[in-house]
Amino acid sequence: MSAYKMLINGELVAGDQTMDVINPATEGVLASCPRASENQLNSAVAAAQAAFPAWSATSIEERKKVVNAIADVIEANAAELAQILTQEQGKPLADATGEVYGMAAFCRYFTSLDLPVKVLEDSEGKRVEAHRKPLGVVAAIVPWNFPLILMAFKLPPALIAGNTLVVKPAATTPLSTLRLGELIKDVAPPGVVNFISDANDLGGALTAHPDVRKVSFTGSTATGSKVMAGAAGLLKRITLELGGNDAGIVLDDVDPKEVAPKLFQSAFQNSGQVCIAMKRLYVHESIYDEICDELTTIANDTIVGDGLEQGTKLGPLQNKMQYERVKELIEDAATHGRIVAGGEVLDQPGYFIRPTIVRDITDGTRLVDEEQFGPVLPVISYSDVEDVVKRANHSPYGLGGSVWAKDLDRAYALAEKMDAGTVWINQHADMSPAIPFGGAKQSGLGVELGEEGLAEFTQLKIINMAR
């Protein structure tokens, strides 16, 4: 595979150092890629800063043309980008292909939005207008579970709002991002979009950089706290989409056979490495055994393997650190509950763990209380609906949640009581670029997607004129 380069000020550059990227399905070196120095990070920020006056002065229609052109490039190179994504991230090729096309679709959605001047008052003595102005240089920090689609939460709205960008992918999944940078090198003016890769050591310098006006970060709550601290000194704008421990509540009127495949998909998509995956499942005692049995059957029938192999449904964990953490949580769960599916690693290279179902487990155990971010689902029995909502809400996280029921009125009443940024009914993790997304409590700050997500990349400016 060809050498990868970073994009700084319209030029493809090597890193001052290099680092290896591991294929999680083989544990072998997939490629060598650039590792930026702090000087190169500063160069990228300086390029974005220099490009900002001209870029922000262009019309929103011109900026939309650039974002649409980026979408064109993504679609034209979808097969290559998906292949790289599967090899560095681990997900099945069909899922990686969907992610690539999803990124293009998100880009096109944001080009459908505008930032019109809103007239708040137009009276005989006064005219008051609300304008949305660009902020400046935006740092976009993207995690390893969905490197491309999560970049699409940030890059298109930031550009359309008139900002310039420095994008930093995760250290373990930089390749698809860097390749995209190579492909769009001449699409935007030099310095408008910059891509750098690091060994997870430049985040602090980027978030605290005096010329960065906003940080848009997706990742763990622990790292989000550091981002917030780094931004605090200059009171720069931040958007944080952080960890979650989403609860699903299944009421007693569902059909176990009908609902179980949907529950399984909600928990195990991308091998559970989804911020809004269902991470703990509360099931009414009257159907508890049936739901556990159905989930066990689905888990045992699921094909786990290399994402490039035909028929693979779940790939490996993305990196060794996460793999070891999930194994540790499974080992602990075995002492507090009963593993009825999975629980074992595959006897082959790669960070593979079979989908694991743990029943007869309770709140207060690590697997229930912590975010596992892997292919393990605790299934907890309950008897009282009011009590189970309290248990679901008893978490520092509040990203998402779901209620499953035939009686929609009962489900809606319960959904209103769940303390989360998004609550789904009879589905989980349904996302659209037009639907705002943000977390409650320690799951985040600010909003992404939708008109609200675009507005987050702007400064509200009021012009108040006396006549």
**Average pLDDT of the residues in 279-294:** 98
Q: What is the CATH number of domain 6-242+443-466?
A: 3.40.605.10
3-state secondary structure of 352: coil
6-242+443-466 and 246-432: same fold?
no
Q: Are strands 356-359 and 376-382 parallel, antiparallel or unpaired?
A: parallel
> Tokens for 455?
């507005």
Catalytic-labelled residue, pool 88, 99, 241, 294? 241
Average pLDDT over residues 415-444: 98
pLDDT in tens, 329-386: 999 999 999 999 999 888 899 999 999 999 999 999 999 999 999 999 999 999 999 9
Which of 269, 242, 249 lies closest to 402 in space, CA to CA?
A: 249
Catalytic residue among 33, 99, 107, 275: 275
Q: What percent of the chain has pLDDT over 90?
A: 99
pLDDT for residue 347: 87
End-to-end CA distance of the chain: 66
Pick the CATH number of 246-432 from 3.40.50.11810, 1.20.1250.20, 3.90.320.10, 3.40.309.10: 3.40.309.10
Q: What is the mean pLDDT of residues 414-418?
A: 98
Cα 450 to Cα 452: distance, rounded to the nearest angstrom: 5
What is the pLDDT, as a whole number, of residue 199?
97
**What's the whole-number mean pLDDT along residues 384-395?**
97
Tell me the residue type at 126.
K
The answer to whether 433 and 450 are in contact (CB under 8 A) is yes
Establish whether 275 is a catalytic residue: yes
Q: pLDDT of 132-149, one tens digit each?
A: 999 999 999 999 999 999
In the chain, the amino acid numbered 420 is A
pLDDT at 434: 98
**d(C-alpha 50, C-alpha 71), whole Å:** 25
- Nearest CA-CA partner of 4 in 197, 158, 162: 197
335: enclosing H helix or E strand: none
Distance CA 123, CA 257 (A): 62
- With 80 as the cut, is the pLDDT of residue 92 above it? yes
Report pLDDT digits (tens) over 441-465: 999 999 999 999 999 999 999 999 9
| Residue 430 pLDDT exceeds 80 | yes
On average, the pLDDT of the chain sits at 97
Spell out the domain ranges in the chain. 6-242+443-466, 246-432
Q: Supply the pLDDT for residue 264.
A: 98
Sort strands 212-218 and 137-141 into parallel, antiparallel or unpaired. parallel
Q: Which residue has the tokens 């080992």?
A: 331
pLDDT for residue 1 = 46
Each residue of 11-31: pLDDT tens digit? 999 999 999 999 999 999 999
Four-point Cα dihedral 433, 435, 439, 444, nearest 10: 40
Whether the pLDDT of residue 85 is over 60: the answer is yes
- C-alpha 388/C-alpha 401 separation (Å) is 13
Q: What share of the chain is helix, strand, coil (3-state, %, to 5)?
A: 40, 25, 40
Nearest CA to 150 out of 168, 133, 134, 137 is that of: 168
The tens digit of pLDDT for each residue in 195-250 reads 999 999 999 999 999 999 999 999 999 999 999 999 999 999 999 999 999 999 99
pLDDT of residue 86: 98
Q: Tell me the Cα Rg of the chain.
A: 23
pLDDT at 2: 58
DSSP class of residue 16 equals: S
* Both structure tokens of 15: 């890193």
Residue 107 is a catalytic residue: no
